[in-house]
């Protein structure tokens, strides 16, 4: 599942990079939790939690239904 999640993140990454941010995959747990690290402009942005839940998590869950949650570490 980690490779599938990485592919999904790669589809999101250009949008984040356009605003000076990025996201890195840290871990995919056996119970469907995906841990990511927001970097660049995303790291300190007050809207990063919305980007994480409404953007990154939404796209990944659509592509990989086994994913239960995306969390930033």
In this predicted structure, the answer to whether residue 23 has a pLDDT above a threshold of 90 is: yes
In this predicted structure, the answer to whether residue 44 has a pLDDT above a threshold of 90 is: no
Tell me the percentage of the chain whose pLDDT exceeds 70.
Answer: 100
Write down the pLDDT at residue 45: 86
Mean pLDDT in the chain?
Answer: 93
Rounded Cα gap, residues 1 and 16, in angstroms: 23
What domains lie within the chain, and their CATH numbers? Answer: 2-72 (3.30.300.130)
pTM of the model: 0.89
Write down the pLDDT at residue 6: 96
Residue 35, strand partner residues:
27, 71
Greater pLDDT, 42 or 35:
35
Q: Which residue has the tokens 């990511």?
A: 36
Q: Are strands 21-28 and 33-40 parallel, antiparallel or unpaired?
A: antiparallel
| Percent of the chain as helix, strand, coil, to the nearest 5 | 50, 25, 20
């Amino acid at each position: 599942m980690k490779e599938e999640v990485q592919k999904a993140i790669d589809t999101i990454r250009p949008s984040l990079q356009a605003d000076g941010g990025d996201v890195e995959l840290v871990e995919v747990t056996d119970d469907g939790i995906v841990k990511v690290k927001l970097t660049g402009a995303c790291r300190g942005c007050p809207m990063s939690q919305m980007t994480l839940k409404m953007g990154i998590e939404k796209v990944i869950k659509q592509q990989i239904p086994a994913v239960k949650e995306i969390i930033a570490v």
